[in-house]
Structure 1
Amino acid sequence: MKNILLMIVLSFVVQLSFGQEFKGKILDVETKEGIPFANIYIKDVQVNAISDSIGNFSIDVPLPKEINILVSASFYESILMKVNSSLFISVGLIKSHLELDEVLLRPKSGTMQRDNIIRVDRLLIKDLNTVPVSNLSEALSNINGVQEASMGPGISKPVIRGMQGVRVLSVLNGMRLENQQWGADHGLGISQLGIGALEVIKGPNSLLYGVDAFGGVVYIEDEKFESQNAYSVNINSKFESVNLGYTNSALIKLSKKKFRFNLGALHSSFSDFQMPNGKYLADSRYQDMGVKTRISYNTNNWVMNMYYMFSHSYNGIPGHTHDSIPDPESFMLDFQNRQRNIPAQNINNHLFQLNNKFFLGKNKIDLMLGYTNNSLNEYDEKFTIPGLGMSLQNILYHLRYNIKSGSWTIKSGIQGMYQINKNIAEAEEQLIPDFDQLDNGIYSIISYKTNSNFSFQFGGRYDLRNLNASDDFSSKYSSPNFSIGGKYEFGSINRNTLLLNISSGFRAPHVSELLVNGKHHGALRYEVGNPNLKSERALQFDLNYELNNEHLSFVFNPYYNYINNYTQIVAQDSIVENLPLFNFEQIDKAQLYGFDTKIHFHPHFAHWLHLEGSYSLIYGESLNRSENLALIPQPRLNFVLRVKFKKRFKFNLEEIVVQNSHFFAQNRVTTYETTSSGYDLSNIGLKFKWFIKTPLEINFGVKNIFNAEYINHLSRLKNINVFNPGRNFYISLNYLIKRNFN
């Protein structure tokens, strides 16, 4: 592999004689001809450029002397390389018929997936346009080993290897998201507006991300800025038949020499969704609106990124009842409605983030400062007085120093968050008490790459959490954690990669587990906390094997996760205020184990055809009680057929996608769960492009083609026996205007 990469990077360089302008040429390594419209992305400065019709590019931006650039082009293998910005460079790319899973983890490691020691799954939002998704949790469920727990399209959250809620940490552009994710009826809280990619790290990752990265990390990354000296306007509109839902959004991008700017807005409205039986689920309606902006400015040795987002969401709460034995028919309507009603949630989010990078020769300092404000009001009996209301504020910081010396890389930092949660005075009830929480952590990660095909990484971290609640509760939680991993590559035509990682995890109990006491209407239960809960501790063994060649990509990823003090909410044989009683308990020893596997085949005789398949399986067990853990996802088998067409006409069919997901029956349940039947979901999507002066992209298709009646094992509506949405026709229009300032 190393020899191939050395061949790719052609080595002639000529000293520039004029200023700071960074120039080069992108070539086909075999024909030596220029590659038109290749993308050159300078990772550290977040600057894009596009090569011209003969492969030349020029970037007139103040740059550090040493920079990392990612070069990519359609039908070629991408390459990440470090170069001197004062030199003319020439880069050769190898043709690739198969789009390999080459993840660039920009915020943390800045490496391609093939160079990573930790397996990271990456999903580009633009790749989902042919069969669009309703929310980011549904998008994440396209990743093997990730599913979603939902109360319909309006309220959903990701589930990674059987873990969700406070066990899964969500990060937006390097800043952790805190939005009352402990609640079963609280979704991810971020729309698709301006989002470019999603990344998932499965299993405990306390070393990189802190105390709550116990079950996995979801990294949400904004779209890139526009290419240098250009501006664009992207207008998107989507309609879905199952809930008469529409989403309209616009995103403006502008990029000059030192300054880059993005501004976007979104509005969506959805009525009650139709079930396969023709009825409509009452109060499954939801609305969302938001604005976001992102500004970047740089000099030679400094880059500043500033980010602000506001979102307002209205979510109906389906399945709400005061009956101890609910009747599914009572939640079904003969008509559709989108007007605001009760019960419902009103959610406002403000996010502000300031990132600074300082370049000190080969080394770098990263400083992130952030502030988030989440306001959650739930209306149960009255439109004007919330039954539950909370205000959550978070102040965050992260300082990291990156040292590069030969084959060694050292990343050390400190990271923390101060959190204040208060119940609003006018709310009728309190579910959790007022509290404040202070997190601080210190870490160091050391990586080394040998001259052969072996590299390794190890690191350590120490975290301390101080928690104080209004009902005289105070506690401290702390723990050291470690991670060690290695990678070995072998083969030339068939590129084989073995990754082995051993990592520990630590999660302090959340206030909602310690001190909750009251009716949780959205979750349809009465919850009582346990102030004696201990911190969860995990140790995961993760093995990943990958095979890549010109036409085939194969991944096999078995894992084993051993957990002490596993916390779960357990149904009691009692009814309180017409709701089932649930308590929080701990299992001394638990294990989660299974595997994810996927294959992508692109036959030589049919370059227009892509066949993809994946399978995920997970078991969760209590070792000391000899019983199954609750809410373990169903085994899932996915199949995707993708046919791509060449441009032949002014109005052209570009792509057809056929998807089928088979969810196997879940019979391994705990004592208070019911089993779930298996089912199939099939989708088909078509992408057209109309090549007018400004091309128009049109996507049309059907989700749940056969109108299957199904209830996913993780559905929050399973306990009232309500089906998920039925057949759904959709159409989306995407209009992109892009111009150069010259």
Structure 2
Amino acid sequence: MRILLYATLFCMTYLTTSAQNFIEGHIIDEDHTEAIVFANIYMPQIEKGTTTNEKGYFKIENIASGTYKIVVSYIGYETKSLQLKIPTDTPVRIALKSSAIEMEEIIVSTPFHKLQSENVMKVERENISDLRSKGAMNLSDGLSNIAGVETITTGLSIGKPVIRGLSSNRVLVYAQGVRLENQQFGDEHGLGLSAAGIESIEVIKGPASLLYGSDALGGVLYLNPERFAKENTSAADGNFNYFSNTNGFNTNAGYKVSKGKFKYIFRAGLAEHADYQTQEYRVTNTRFKEKDFKAALGYQASKFKTELRYNVNASKLGIPEEIGVQSTNVTPLLPFQDITNHIFSSKSVLFFEDSNLEINLGYLYNDRKEFEEHHEEDEEEEEEEHEVLEAALQMKLKTFNYDIKYHLPEIGRFETILGVQGMNQTNTNYGEEQLIPNASTNDFGLLATSHIHFDLLDVQLGARYDNRNIDVESGLTKSFNSFNGALGFKTNIANKITARLNFATGFRAPNLAELTSDGSHEGTNRYEIGNPNLKNEQNFQTDLALEFKNDHIELFVNGFYNKVNNYIFIAPNGQIIDGDDVFVYEQNDAKLFGGEIGLHFHPHPLDWLHIESSFESVTGKQNDNSYLPLIPANSINNKVRVELVNDWLSEGYAFLKLTTTLKQDNLSEFETITPGYNLLSAGMGGKITVLNHELQINISGNNLTDKSYIHHLSRLKSEGIYNIGRNFSLGLTYTL
């Protein structure tokens, strides 16, 4: 107790006696030396920022002594980052170079929080507002618009991310700075997250076990929550989106304020959708409802900052099985899922002179209920029964995780981070059926990584050790260990050509379902039997990325080869139990390879015109040369986008996009060929001023030709059920 008291008194004394400094300066145009008005200045380490006034002047106060990164951005100019030593004796003068390329943002999912142009590792980043402008109905729907990412879907409401052919527990999702745990092993288990209150998505394609441990073998989806309001300001906004195909909507409203050292955010959202329509029918029971609430509290002093965030998401999701009743009702029929997901997170940073200590804590509580149909009922009777039905399956998953990193003082050319991460998780069953047993899981990991700056080369390297223990109520105990490392290089191999070469290992420990299943899995209509003798999946990936940029053209070529030892898969053994085919878990070595190629043409002086084209490919094979299941088909995207700006419209745009998905005939033993298809989409939007406040309008149309098609990763493919037909959407966001 005395130690805790002394530590508290030390921290209070340390925080109250630290020096208070400020930084000020001017932002100008590099070519014309004119002031840039409303340029954004942001300090990512302390999450403080401001904008320049009509003279290009800015000032940020209440900064402790130390070395900080400053990021300056403005539309039409290249984003610039630089390191500054605080306190500084004179105002800074920062010149920006004009460019037609979109502004860069700080990449949060990588350890050193750099701009993508400075990163050794290639990371894709998309703003949620951009995905919404393309007509995305929800978060999982929007993921397929990100290069190298697809989704395994069950209708519209349930989607699982696929990164370069790997999915489920091989892709780790981070929300609010903590790893998301919500029974992601199931094919029909979605993310349980709403896009409301999420600012952007970052995608690490390839093994990220060095940074995140087990389950990051295939990659990471990192969801960045919305930022707090700037110092001593407040803001409110409301967003409404309507979708013609499902006669559905999603809407949310938020308020945030920053006053003194405290900051607050509150946001609530609601979504309702009826069954989606194809050219021939509505797909029965693809309807869903979702309620979402987010809150955040931030506190910031010169030497310390912390933020607490909370999110509760409650969803009722219909599980489609066949084409039946045709209606626009939004109340799910049987079978359906009733899921409540709570996320509590804490993110704190203690700043020293030239180093800092970052502590992220999370507590997640996932309550999953699944209701089944026991006898024939009409739709009205089923809806009344929802109030009295007992869940056939109910699992409560409680997870506490921690992530502590110490950013050492820079020594010469070295930036170094030491870290410890871990997790304690318990799964408990309450329903009459049991999918996986009661069990507890404990993870512990140690990591070290460095970024080394040379004159012509940047190097990033690191190593990590992990241990996972699984204790099952029945008495089974399993322990898994793994060492992993990563090595990457970034350099300019020619004028305007950047090369990134990364080597990384990753691992995934078998999950409870793979180790212990013994029963019928209603969502997949099969009897599953686990294998307690499964080993770690262990992979090694080589990734090469080349980029060329000038004033008119951006060209990139990404290639990867991913070798996975002890790849876990499920296959039938020819038996039948309780009327269901028996599937067992097995292991075999596997490999995945492919990449992405893209071109962005923006001819000068027609900077308002953008022509974009890309090709994505992935192939997955087992060691015997047979193909892996659920590998997305190759695809080609062609897009023409124009920027529209005049006296009454700002950030205006219009686009026309053609997505070509090629035939998938690289099939596993239990898959069938999926024909290719073309989907045409278009949209337009921008910001106008209404009653002295900003109104953003987005209008889009997807599958404009009302094409009947089936995506290879749709779980309804086996029933011959089409994906969604033509859909028009209207989005309105009003900011106060």
Q: When the two structures are superposed, what TM-score results if normalisation uses the length of structure 2?
A: 0.93
Alignment pair present for 1:731 and 2:723: no
Deviations 1:28-75 (A, max 9, x none): 111111101111111012122111122111223344432222110010
Correspondent of 2:350 among 343, 358, 362: 358
Q: What residue in structure 2 maps to residue 446 of structure 1?
A: 450
Cα distance between partner residues in 2 of 1:65 and 1:558: 40
Q: What residue in structure 2 maps to residue 702 of structure 1?
A: 701
Tell me how many residue pairs correspond in the alignment.
Answer: 701
Q: What residue in structure 1 maps to residue 441 of structure 2?
A: 437
Farther off after superposition, 222-231 or 36-45: 222-231
User: 1:169 is matched by which residue type in structure 2?
Assistant: L
Alignment pair present for 1:205 and 2:208: yes
Q: CA offset at residue 572 of structure 1?
A: 4.0
Q: CA offset at residue 257 of structure 1?
A: 3.4
Farther off after superposition, 289-298 or 534-543: 289-298
For the residue of structure 2 that corresponds to 1:471, the secondary structure is coil
User: 2:250 is matched by which residue type in structure 1?
Assistant: T
Q: CA offset at residue 129 of structure 1?
A: 3.6
1:434-513 matches, within 5 Å, as: 434-450=438-454, 452-491=455-494, 494-513=495-514
Q: What residue in structure 2 maps to residue 661 of structure 1?
A: 659
For the residue of structure 1 that corresponds to 2:693, the secondary structure is coil
Deviations 1:390-412 (A, max 9, x none): 00000111111111222101111
1:319-330 matches, within 5 Å, as: 319=321, 330=322
Cα distance between partner residues in 2 of 1:549 and 1:688: 27
RMSD across aligned positions (CA) = 1.7
Cα distance between partner residues in 1 of 2:56 and 2:121: 34
Cα distance between partner residues in 1 of 2:236 and 2:583: 50
Cα distance between partner residues in 2 of 1:129 and 1:144: 16
User: 1:430 is matched by which residue type in structure 2?
Assistant: Q
Q: What residue in structure 2 maps to residue 162 of structure 1?
A: 165
Farther off after superposition, 439-448 or 94-103: 94-103
Does structure 2 retain, via aligned residues, the 8 Å contact 1:663–1:679? yes
For the residue of structure 2 that corresponds to 1:627, the secondary structure is coil
Cα distance between partner residues in 2 of 1:358 and 1:315: 42
Q: What residue in structure 1 maps to residue 147 of structure 2?
A: 144
Does structure 2 retain, via aligned residues, the 8 Å contact 1:183–1:523? no
Does structure 1 retain, via aligned residues, the 8 Å contact 2:292–2:314? yes
Cα distance between partner residues in 1 of 2:93 and 2:698: 38
Q: What residue in structure 2 maps to residue 405 of structure 1?
A: 411
1:512-551 matches, within 5 Å, as: 512-551=513-552
Relative to structure 1, is the Cα distance of residues 376 and 428 closer, same or farther in structure 2, using a 3 angstrom cutoff?
Answer: same
Alignment pair present for 1:182 and 2:180: no
Q: What residue in structure 1 maps to residue 672 of structure 2?
A: 674
Q: CA offset at residue 103 of structure 1?
A: 5.2
For the residue of structure 2 that corresponds to 1:513, the secondary structure is helix
Q: CA offset at residue 203 of structure 1?
A: 1.2
1:42-81 matches, within 5 Å, as: 42-81=43-82
Deviations 1:406-440 (A, max 9, x none): 2101111110000000001xx12101100101000
Q: What residue in structure 1 maps to residue 379 of structure 2?
A: none
Q: CA offset at residue 134 of structure 1?
A: 1.6
Cα distance between partner residues in 1 of 2:347 and 2:700: 40
Q: What residue in structure 1 maps to residue 235 of structure 2?
A: 232
Q: CA offset at residue 688 of structure 1?
A: 4.1
Farther off after superposition, 194-203 or 572-581: 572-581
Cα distance between partner residues in 2 of 1:735 and 1:102: 24
Alignment pair present for 1:270 and 2:237: no
Does structure 1 retain, via aligned residues, the 8 Å contact 2:284–2:326? no
Correspondent of 1:105 among 108, 120, 125: 108
Correspondent of 1:303 among 292, 302, 305: 305
Q: What residue in structure 2 maps to residue 368 of structure 1?
A: 360
Q: What residue in structure 2 maps to residue 564 of structure 1?
A: 565
Q: CA offset at residue 582 of structure 1?
A: 2.1
Alignment pair present for 1:619 and 2:623: no
Q: What residue in structure 2 maps to residue 9 of structure 1?
A: none
Cα distance between partner residues in 2 of 1:577 and 1:392: 28
Does structure 2 retain, via aligned residues, the 8 Å contact 1:48–1:225? no
Q: Which runs of 5+ in 2 are unaligned?
A: 1-18, 375-385
Q: CA offset at residue 573 of structure 1?
A: 3.5
User: 1:358 is matched by which residue type in structure 2?
Assistant: L
Does structure 2 retain, via aligned residues, the 8 Å contact 1:39–1:71? yes
Q: CA offset at residue 253 of structure 1?
A: 1.6
Cα distance between partner residues in 2 of 1:296 and 1:102: 22
Farther off after superposition, 381-390 or 205-214: 381-390
Q: What residue in structure 2 maps to residue 421 of structure 1?
A: 427
Farther off after superposition, 504-513 or 256-265: 256-265
Q: What residue in structure 2 maps to residue 254 of structure 1?
A: 257
For the residue of structure 2 that corresponds to 1:213, the secondary structure is coil
Relative to structure 1, is the Cα distance of residues 636 and 103 closer, same or farther in structure 2, using a 3 angstrom cutoff?
Answer: farther
Q: CA offset at residue 168 of structure 1?
A: 0.4
Q: What residue in structure 1 maps to residue 40 of structure 2?
A: 39
Cα distance between partner residues in 2 of 1:231 and 1:103: 23
Cα distance between partner residues in 2 of 1:96 and 1:688: 21
For the residue of structure 2 that corresponds to 1:691, the secondary structure is strand
Q: What residue in structure 1 maps to residue 316 of structure 2?
A: 314
User: 2:330 is matched by which residue type in structure 1?
Assistant: R
User: 2:512 is matched by which residue type in structure 1?
Assistant: V
Alignment pair present for 1:346 and 2:338: yes
Relative to structure 1, is the Cα distance of residues 577 and 660 closer, same or farther in structure 2, using a 3 angstrom cutoff?
Answer: farther
Alignment pair present for 1:601 and 2:601: yes
Q: CA offset at residue 485 of structure 1?
A: 1.1
Q: What residue in structure 2 maps to residue 689 of structure 1?
A: 687
Relative to structure 1, is the Cα distance of residues 580 and 660 closer, same or farther in structure 2, using a 3 angstrom cutoff?
Answer: farther
Q: CA offset at residue 574 of structure 1?
A: 4.2
Cα distance between partner residues in 2 of 1:445 and 1:155: 36
Does structure 1 retain, via aligned residues, the 8 Å contact 2:270–2:290? yes
Q: Which runs of 5+ in 1 are unaligned?
A: 1-17, 320-329, 738-742
Does structure 2 retain, via aligned residues, the 8 Å contact 1:144–1:597? no
Q: CA offset at residue 100 of structure 1?
A: 6.3
For the residue of structure 2 that corresponds to 1:212, the secondary structure is coil
Relative to structure 1, is the Cα distance of residues 362 and 688 closer, same or farther in structure 2, using a 3 angstrom cutoff?
Answer: closer
Deviations 1:134-155 (A, max 9, x none): 2222222222111111011100
Q: CA offset at residue 544 of structure 1?
A: 0.8
Relative to structure 1, is the Cα distance of residues 255 and 107 closer, same or farther in structure 2, using a 3 angstrom cutoff?
Answer: farther
Q: CA offset at residue 93 of structure 1?
A: 0.7
User: 2:428 is matched by which residue type in structure 1?
Assistant: K
Deviations 1:205-242 (A, max 9, x none): 11001111111100000122222221111100011011
Does structure 2 retain, via aligned residues, the 8 Å contact 1:76–1:95? yes
1:626-645 matches, within 5 Å, as: 626-645=625-644
Farther off after superposition, 343-352 or 381-390: 381-390
Q: What residue in structure 2 maps to residue 322 of structure 1?
A: none
Cα distance between partner residues in 1 of 2:731 and 2:580: 42
Cα distance between partner residues in 2 of 1:402 and 1:84: 17
Alignment pair present for 1:331 and 2:323: yes
Cα distance between partner residues in 2 of 1:578 and 1:273: 31
Does structure 2 retain, via aligned residues, the 8 Å contact 1:103–1:121? no
Q: CA offset at residue 446 of structure 1?
A: 1.8
Cα distance between partner residues in 2 of 1:243 and 1:215: 33
Q: What residue in structure 1 maps to residue 383 of structure 2?
A: none
For the residue of structure 2 that corresponds to 1:126, the secondary structure is helix
Q: What residue in structure 1 maps to residue 4 of structure 2?
A: none
Deviations 1:696-736 (A, max 9, x none): 22211211101111111111111111001111111111101
Q: CA offset at residue 300 of structure 1?
A: 1.4
For the residue of structure 2 that corresponds to 1:719, the secondary structure is helix
Q: When the two structures are superposed, what TM-score results if normalisation uses the length of structure 1?
A: 0.92
For the residue of structure 2 that corresponds to 1:522, the secondary structure is coil
Alignment pair present for 1:23 and 2:24: yes
Relative to structure 1, is the Cα distance of residues 608 and 53 closer, same or farther in structure 2, using a 3 angstrom cutoff?
Answer: same
Q: CA offset at residue 126 of structure 1?
A: 2.0
Cα distance between partner residues in 2 of 1:198 and 1:734: 20
Cα distance between partner residues in 1 of 2:284 and 2:514: 30
What's the % identity of the aligned pairs?
34
Does structure 2 retain, via aligned residues, the 8 Å contact 1:27–1:92? yes
Deviations 1:172-203 (A, max 9, x none): 13210000010111111111011111001111
Q: CA offset at residue 652 of structure 1?
A: 7.6
